[in-house]
Chain A
Amino acid sequence: MDNMYSYDYQFRLIVVGDSTVGKSSLLRSFCDGVFSQDPDPTVGVDFNVRIVEVKPGVKVKLQLWDTAGQERFRSITRAYYRNSVGVLLIYDTTNYVSFTHVTSWLNEARAQIQPYHSVFLLVGTKIDRESERQVTTEEGKAFADFHNISFIETSSKSSLYVQEAFTMIAREIYDMLTEGRIHVQSGWDGVKTGPKSANSNQSQPIEIAQNVQPRRNGCCSS
């Protein structure tokens, strides 16, 4: 089990999307390794934590805000974008309407998250229910490409690509950090250095930066 106090960075992410697309299930699958068919609806916000390894020897703690999907809760969840470095835009692959709403979630996030850099990941859920699929992988991919963000499809029930989704966005943020496009700033909780790297030499992250390949996807405000 990960030691919660041994990590190099801490990223705070927010998970958004329509009601019942499976935000809470995705987080429970990722953080607790469990799946329940009908979890309680998230009223307001919920909080989850897990540590991932973005590259050998580099651990990142992910603090994840789970949000309510109903439209009116945006007035509450809006406050959570400011201190987030990444946004997971969730839609249900078996529900086309939830996919059409991704645009508005993306716009909302982009409008709120300024002036900080942020990384987006489009996540399609429930791919274990292939026979009920309404949104094709190609459609999801096309949307992500159009908005220049990353894309992945998952199943929380069979924990398919759940780990990969979070590692993917964490790695992307980490790469931007080492490239100097995202900075640790006081008064902003999006990215923080962990106790491990805070104690070590400051030049270390820069060394890592030289080994990392350039990012594939851009950022909204670059």
Chain B
Amino acid sequence: MVSGFGHVSKECDEEVLGNWSDILSKWRKNYAERPRGLQSLVRKGVPEALRGEVWQLLAGSHGGENEMINTYRLLLTKESASERVILNDLNRTFPAHEYFKDAGGVGQEALYKLSRAYSVRDEEVGYCQGLSFVIATLLIHMPEEQAFMLLCQLMEDQRYLLREMYKANFENLQVRFHQLTCLIQDNLPDLYAHFDDLKVECHMYASQWFLTLFTAKFPLYLVFRIMDIFLYEGFNALFGVALALLKGCQKDLLSLDFEGVMRFFRVNLPKKYRSEDHADELIQTACSMKINVKKLKRYEKEYLTRRAEEEQSEFPLQRLESDNKRLTEICMRSELENEMLALELVNDRVKLKSNLDEAEDHVQTLTRELQATRTIVRESEQHTIRLNDELENIRDAFRRTCDELQQTQKIVSDYKQICSQLNNQLDKQREKYQAKIETFQSRCCESCKPIINSIVSPPSSLASTPEREIVNNDEDDLPPISSISPSVADRLRQVEIELAEKKLALTQALCENQELVHQLRHSSSVTSDSDTNSVNSMRALNNNNNSSTVSWLSKTVNTIKEAASSTNRAKVN
């Protein structure tokens, strides 16, 4: 079962509430004086809805609020030495309660702030495990600031003086244990004897009772009832509760051995008070217990005197010797540890040194690489500049070549024109020649006709067929053309010579053209690296030129050849 269980209802009897409202109205008139009838009402249990106010009134923590709130806020801004322990206990305090169950929730946050603020305020106490349960109990009933004021009151007010108990060496707690032991002896002698036999001592079961004010192991309705009477009566109410608890289970305890007793305290006792009736009974018993304040003082004195005697009874020299021995051992162990640590330190240093060396080497190589890369970059830049220059040159050359090409094309078109003119002239000459032949044939006699026909070959393919037929028919009768027309032969020779000249000119032009094409190709191959696109277009152009040149040239040459062969034949004839 985890702490913080047991639902506490806020509903309350009309009559009880009426009584309380009477008491409270009286009380509010004079805080300093507790009204009559308060004790019996508190012993019956403060209504849950009123607990927040009643607890503060009982402890006298109200008033001077503004000052305390400022103090609280200031404390929150300071560092606490107990930070870690406080954090550790947050989610272990009342995890069964709705308000505290969530890590980082409002309840845990308030618990953290309050524990922290108090630990800063009272450095001698700081934070003590167990305190979180007390603080949580207060926080269930009132806002943070009021809970803080009530806590301070519980710690410092003479009636409670909890800070004495929580102080770091627990000396006061030991006094409380002794007082409780004496009270058991007084009130429950049988149980005292039994525990004495079993060597069951108060600190084995009551540390938690006192340090948490019974808040950690019991259901909340009992926890709050105990808090009611504790706030009303002061610290001694806790003795009453402890005695009542033991008295309530005395029979069980008397029948158990050491283990049984320890187990009973741990398991059975909290279980027993899961019934509200048992809880009420316990409170009534606790209130009925006679706790004599004078006796308690005497027990305290007894304990302190005994402690002092014990300390003195130890032979001083012996004590010093044992102390000395213990310290020497600790010293030796520390020295050994120191040596170990020193060794570790040296090892670590060596490792670090080697790491550093490695890192430096690495840095050096990296620097070298960086320098090399820089040089490469510089070279590349220079190369780029050079290439750009070359590109510029090639572009110029290309531009020049293009100009030349244009000129060449012009020349080529000129030649084309000349050739076509020549062709026209040739055609005209042929027509004239044909006309002359025809006139010549029409004038000559029938016997000469075949001879003439045989020498005169048809000048064109169109006229050839009928003429050849005629020639074939009358071949033997025709006289040689040269013998018939010397003027025509002269004219033919002239035309031949002219043709040869034209041929020569044409061949020259062709050669020239070829040379230009070569040049163009060469220049285009040079520029190819710099500008492939332009080269491609250039090549296309060249190819076009070549093919067109070749086609018209071959045509012309063929016609010329035909003409030449016909004249040659005529000459031979």
Contact = CB atoms under 8 A, between A and B. Distances in A.
Interface in B442-464: none
A189 B258 CA distance: 12
A83 B208 CA distance: 21
A3 to B, nearest CB: 13
Given A4-B259, A72-B169, A41 B204 contact: no
A70 B266 contact: no
Contacts of A75: 169-171
A4 B263 CA distance: 13
B212 A43 contact: yes
Nearest to B204: A45
Nearest to B91: A38
A71 B92 CA distance: 18
B537 interface: no
B211 A43 contact: yes
Contacts of B233: none
A213 interface: no
Interface string B330-364: 10010011001000000000000000000000000
A221 to B, nearest CB: 10
Contacts of A68: 129, 207
Contacts of A40: 2-3, 92, 216-217
A194 to B, nearest CB: 13
A20 B88 contact: yes
Contact of B170 (A4, A39, A72): A72
B128 A49 contact: no
Contacts of A43: 129-130, 207-208, 211-212, 216
Contact of A76 (B95, B170, B330): B170
A96 interface: no
Contacts of A19: 85, 88, 129
Contacts of B329: 110
Contact of A36 (B2, B130, B212): B2
Interface residues of B, number: 39
Nearest to A189: B199
B207 A146 contact: no
B128 A44 contact: no
A36 B266 CA distance: 16
Contacts of A111: 326, 330
B212 A49 contact: no
Given A70-B128, A72-B169, A72-B170, A44 B2 contact: no
B539 interface: no
Contacts of B203: 44-45, 76, 79
B49 interface: no
A47 B92 contact: no
A71 B169 CA distance: 10
Interface string A72-88: 11011001000000000
Contact of B92 (A39, A44, A76): A39
Contacts of B263: 47, 49
Contacts of B168: 71-72
A44 B216 CA distance: 12
A69 B259 CA distance: 23
B95 to A, nearest CB: 6
A47 B212 CA distance: 18
Contacts of B129: 19, 41-43, 68-70, 73
Interface string B138-179: 000000000000000000000000000000111101000000
Contacts of A39: 2, 92
A36 B74 CA distance: 37
B207 A76 contact: yes
Interface in B75-98: 85, 88-89, 91-93, 95
B262 interface: yes
A47 to B, nearest CB: 4
A79 B22 CA distance: 52
23 contacts: A19-B88, A19-B129, A38-B91, A38-B95, A41-B93, A41-B130, A43-B211, A44-B203, A44-B204, A44-B206, A45-B204, A49-B263, A69-B129, A70-B128, A71-B168, A72-B128, A72-B168, A72-B169, A73-B170, A75-B171, A103-B337, A110-B329, A111-B326
Interface of A: 4, 19-20, 36, 38-47, 49, 63, 68-73, 75-76, 79, 103, 107, 110-111, 146, 189
Given A68-B207, A75-B170, 18 more contacts: A19-B129, A38-B91, A38-B92, A39-B92, A41-B88, A41-B92, A41-B129, A44-B207, A44-B211, A47-B266, A49-B259, A68-B129, A70-B129, A72-B128, A76-B203, A107-B333, A111-B330, A146-B340
